[in-house]
Structure 1
Amino acid sequence: MTSPPTSVTLVSECLIKPLHDLSPDEAKHEPLYFTPFELTGLNFRYSQQGLLFTKPKNNNKDDFSITVFLNELKHSLSATLTHFYPLAARLATRILDNPPSYVIYLDPENSPGVKFVYAKTDATISDIINPTYVPSIVHSFFDLNNAINHDGHTLPLLSIKVTELTDGIFIGGSINHLIADGTSFWHFMSSWSEIFFKSKLNHPHQNSNCDIIMISRPPIFKRQPLQAGSSDLFINLPYTHRDQFIQPSAQNSQMLVVKERFFKFSSASVARLKKKANDELSNNNNTTQKEMIISSLQAVSAVLWRCITKVRRLANDSETVCVLVVNNRPRMNPPLSDDYFGSPLHGVSGTATVEELMANGLGWAALKLHETIANYDDVAVKNWVESWVRNPVVYERSDKLSPFSNLVLISNSPRFDMYGCEFGLGKAIAARSGAVTKLDGAMTMYPGREGGGSIDVQVCLIPETMKDLECDEEFISSFS
């Protein structure tokens, strides 16, 4: 039995600039400032998400040409950047002595472009999706694997890497997490796919530089002050030099080895878990709850929290934590639009002792998470902002999570319209992520390819914990 290919060969790379200039006159020169939610993550790595497609088969009537396809991708990307022009820019820092000021912002006047990479591999679609665990070659389908958000001063804020497989095409995006979260990244990808389709529809045999192609959801870049009583959009960080808050790269440190595996929760499995959690609450004598308040995502998150905590075999009196990365857009009053382009994310935590989590059922764990999210409202968001502004801090990056073996981290969303991004190739075979955030206890949520409320969960655990989870009856029954 031959081993699957493990290498990816770089073929070409270039920078792509916006095709047209639609930016308002004032936006051409005005900095785009970041919020506290974004500035805390200057040490964090770029976000990496991508889609695997089947490569069209050649026939005598309409042969597929990778060269033509790449040119169409580049042209439509340039047309898309017309609307998402800040992605072509770079970060900048303004330092003043009197009065003291250290401000990091996006500089629209420094706009070299988005990086576009083309690479090839002998791997097949089966090499990627058939193994039990995600093969390491997938990490090579993404660019900027070691970049942190602060590197956006010199590195592209977005890099698109197109990898041609023997029978497939992978389109992977690495994006600076200061400028975009998952909501904004998939908004961009959806708009790019929309323009790709419209470009081929309007100009099937040639690329036109004349027409501006409009999109159904223009992004919103305008920022509003988040602090009460303040009109300032920029935030002064309490530093005089980057070395005071940027971590050195831990290239020589020994990384924790984790296994990555996708578990598929069908729409029926998700509905069953949701019903079970809500039924347990309604049957509990301590509650009068009759309506279904536990969401599908909360029910799946709760079973992950319970089962992973169980197989970790922690002491009964130790604390276990489930961190949910939440989107602040709908929690603000007034709410921010889903088209708001940025990274307004925050982590909220459900906590319990191991004994409590194991002694009570799925409904109890799901209610813990539900209450954690429900209590994180506009007041809580603004209280956190006010507290951070009084004492700004840039979080340190953990490349291991090993000191936090009591922690389950749940990010991404099954509500993202990943499979609506087709780029003329049809529905993607699978969604995958890069090397970023592959930590013990990190769970990444995806929409199931079959739709209908199905959820795919990428689980990252150390090998011995993964092995025990795969044998846990409660976990197996939750998706089978």
Structure 2
Amino acid sequence: MASELLKLKILEKSHVKPREKLGKKECQLVTFDLPYLAFYYNQKLLFYKGDDYEGMVKKLKEGLSVVLEEFYQLAGKLGKDEEGVFRVEYNDEDDAEDGGVVGVEVVQAVAEADVSVADLTVAESTNTLKELIPYTGILNLEGMHRPLLAIQLTKLKDGLAMGCAFNHAVLDGTSTWHFMSSWAAICCGSPTVSAAPFLERTKARNTRVKLDLTLPSADPLAGKSNGDVKQAPPPPVLREKIFKFSESAIDKIKSAVNERLPSDGSKPFSTFQALSVHIWRRVTYARNLRPEDYTVFTVFVDCRKRVDPPMPETYFGNLIQAIFTVTAAGLLSASPPEFGASLIQKAIEAHTAKAIDERNKEWESAPKIFQFKDAGVNCVAVGSSPRFKVYDVDFGWGSPENVRSGSNNKFDGMVYLYPGKSGGRSIDVELTLESEAMARLEEDEEFLMDL
């Protein structure tokens, strides 16, 4: 269904702050956070069934005001201290009339067309769902002047669409779903947050890095003119699609990559490694690459248990790093799947506390703000995780009917993994790919595994 057919009407816009006064609080952004300032807000979209929109919104806003007492950083804004070091600033006294950012932005809207939850959950592309998620095309750096979390609650014929935009310079996926599950628990009657967020980012890294960044007048991720009058070629046409791998399909993929494991005590490949190499090999094939072309696999690794000392699972912020492995397309395709799985496994296992520390020191000596092109040539990049319990986010009216990513931070080869709604070991693969390659992948029986 085309987005224009939603006929969205904005009903109300408000800002929700922590229920209790907290005063003035500041928290320095650290090396794990800063590289994401030029990414876009991280968008999530959840669909719920229900027939009491007003009651659902009331409960959500009341629960939000309670959960923000612990997750108050999401009600703040980005700022800089006197030395130019970025930080999160929260102040009860910030006043919207003074141009300050006050709390979490909540927009209430209604789809005036006769649109049901089912109509939207079958949509392949988030391009058709853009109107349901705030802050499309908004850089994290704009958090200096915008809320760090924006939520849109859209009334549908038989339910509600919850579009969320999180400032990615402030938190990663683990922290995002920690917040969402805590908010849901409050709405279901929990008096307090059962697992309070660990807010001391400097315990993970305490190097102060000054960045001279200001909001761009144009998209910094677009090509810049260098006096050459030639126009940049138009970007490739991308398509998004969700491939739903059943529990049995996942088991087949994992068994296939482990069946020739040598009996020398080699570590078996994990479900993540098996599925990743399955995607990497078949996407490489669908791209019709030459045998000598390089292809890169990128994964954003959670470093909470890898840093020294380890950080708690409740660490609130970014504690991820992108790691890369590269090989020739012909070698990846001609070799058995355990070849690529071994490359991924070795890259992940090599990302020790020492490697993380060296990466941080290197970045701090010459800070580099990430751009999409940094993911690598002919890249397959995996974000999110099937370990995130996204279908447990129940605010009191049942599990979400569907969970999606928005269109921000997507490029050719970007993959988001989610647990399948059917539960068990099923996994949903949300993939963005150049349209011709996607068409070939859709016909690839070896990839589809009888989907």
Q: Scaled by the length of structure 2, what TM-score is found?
A: 0.89
| Aligned equivalent of 1:310, options 275, 279, 285 | 285
Aligned mates of 1:441, 1:143 — CA distance in 2: 24
Task: Report if aligned partners of 1:141, 1:434 keep a CA contact under 8 Å in 2.
Answer: no
Secondary structure of the structure 2 residue equivalent to 1:42: helix
Q: Which moved more, 1:329-338 or 1:409-418?
A: 329-338
Residue 261 of structure 1: aligned partner:
241
| Aligned equivalent of 2:121, options 101, 110, 129 | 129
| Aligned equivalent of 1:38, options 17, 33, 48 | 33
Task: Report if aligned partners of 2:16, 2:104 keep a CA contact under 8 Å in 1.
Answer: yes
Task: Report if aligned partners of 2:332, 2:340 keep a CA contact under 8 Å in 1.
Answer: yes
Residue 108 of structure 2: aligned partner:
118
Report the Cα offset of residue 367 of structure 1: 1.2
Report the Cα offset of residue 245 of structure 1: 12
Mark the CA change 1:77 to 1:255 in structure 2 (over 3 Å): closer, same or farther.
farther
Q: Amino acid of the residue matched to residue 241 of structure 2?
A: R
| Aligned equivalent of 1:152, options 133, 139, 143 | 143
Aligned mates of 2:76, 2:298 — CA distance in 1: 32
Aligned mates of 1:136, 1:127 — CA distance in 2: 14
Aligned mates of 2:365, 2:266 — CA distance in 1: 43
Q: Amino acid of the residue matched to residue 297 of structure 1?
A: F
Aligned mates of 2:421, 2:138 — CA distance in 1: 30
Report the Cα offset of residue 335 of structure 1: 1.4
Q: Indicate yes or no: 2:405 matched with 1:415.
A: no
Q: Amino acid of the residue matched to residue 294 of structure 1?
A: F
> Which segments of 5 or more consecutive residues in structure 1 lack a partner in the other structure?
57-64, 96-100, 200-212
Q: Which moved more, 1:28-37 or 1:248-257?
A: 248-257
The CA deviation string for residues 140-175 of structure 1, in whole angstroms up to 9 with x for no partner, is 111111211110111000011111111221112100
Q: Which moved more, 1:2-11 or 1:437-446?
A: 2-11
| Aligned equivalent of 1:178, options 165, 169, 172 | 169
Mark the CA change 1:280 to 1:437 in structure 2 (over 3 Å): closer, same or farther.
farther
Task: Report if aligned partners of 1:226, 1:382 keep a CA contact under 8 Å in 2.
Answer: no
Q: Which moved more, 1:453-462 or 1:133-142?
A: 133-142
Secondary structure of the structure 2 residue equivalent to 1:112: coil
Residue 139 of structure 1: aligned partner:
130
Aligned mates of 1:357, 1:398 — CA distance in 2: 22
Aligned mates of 2:347, 2:390 — CA distance in 1: 27
Aligned mates of 2:438, 2:13 — CA distance in 1: 38
Mark the CA change 1:409 to 1:215 in structure 2 (over 3 Å): closer, same or farther.
same
Q: Scaled by the length of structure 1, what TM-score is found?
A: 0.84
Residue 161 of structure 1: aligned partner:
152
C-alpha root-mean-square deviation of aligned residues, in Å?
2.6
Report the Cα offset of residue 226 of structure 1: 5.0
The CA deviation string for residues 445-468 of structure 1, in whole angstroms up to 9 with x for no partner, is 111111112110001112111110
Q: Amino acid of the residue matched to residue 372 of structure 1?
A: A
Mark the CA change 1:243 to 1:145 in structure 2 (over 3 Å): closer, same or farther.
closer
Mark the CA change 1:434 to 1:391 in structure 2 (over 3 Å): closer, same or farther.
same
Report the Cα offset of residue 67 of structure 1: 1.7
Q: Amino acid of the residue matched to residue 368 of structure 2?
A: V
Q: Which moved more, 1:299-308 or 1:362-371?
A: 362-371
Aligned mates of 2:307, 2:158 — CA distance in 1: 45
Task: Report if aligned partners of 1:223, 1:233 keep a CA contact under 8 Å in 2.
Answer: no
Q: Indicate yes or no: 2:413 matched with 1:426.
A: no
Residue 226 of structure 2: aligned partner:
none
Q: Which moved more, 1:86-95 or 1:366-375?
A: 86-95
Figure out how many residues of one structure are paired with residues of the other and give that number: 433
Task: Report if aligned partners of 2:35, 2:169 keep a CA contact under 8 Å in 1.
Answer: no
Mark the CA change 1:398 to 1:115 in structure 2 (over 3 Å): closer, same or farther.
farther
Mark the CA change 1:118 to 1:244 in structure 2 (over 3 Å): closer, same or farther.
closer
Residue 97 of structure 2: aligned partner:
none
Q: Amino acid of the residue matched to residue 46 of structure 1?
A: Y
| Aligned equivalent of 1:222, options 200, 212, 222 | 200
| Aligned equivalent of 1:86, options 59, 62, 73 | 73
Aligned mates of 1:9, 1:242 — CA distance in 2: 33
Aligned mates of 2:296, 2:154 — CA distance in 1: 38
The CA deviation string for residues 267-287 of structure 1, in whole angstroms up to 9 with x for no partner, is 1211221121111333xxxx7
Secondary structure of the structure 2 residue equivalent to 1:162: strand
Secondary structure of the structure 2 residue equivalent to 1:339: coil
Mark the CA change 1:79 to 1:244 in structure 2 (over 3 Å): closer, same or farther.
closer
| Aligned equivalent of 1:395, options 356, 360, 370 | 370
Identity of aligned residues (%): 30
Secondary structure of the structure 2 residue equivalent to 1:106: strand
Task: Report if aligned partners of 2:289, 2:329 keep a CA contact under 8 Å in 1.
Answer: yes
Aligned mates of 1:276, 1:332 — CA distance in 2: 33
The CA deviation string for residues 205-238 of structure 1, in whole angstroms up to 9 with x for no partner, is xxxxxxxx212111110123556xxxx553223x
Aligned mates of 1:398, 1:332 — CA distance in 2: 27
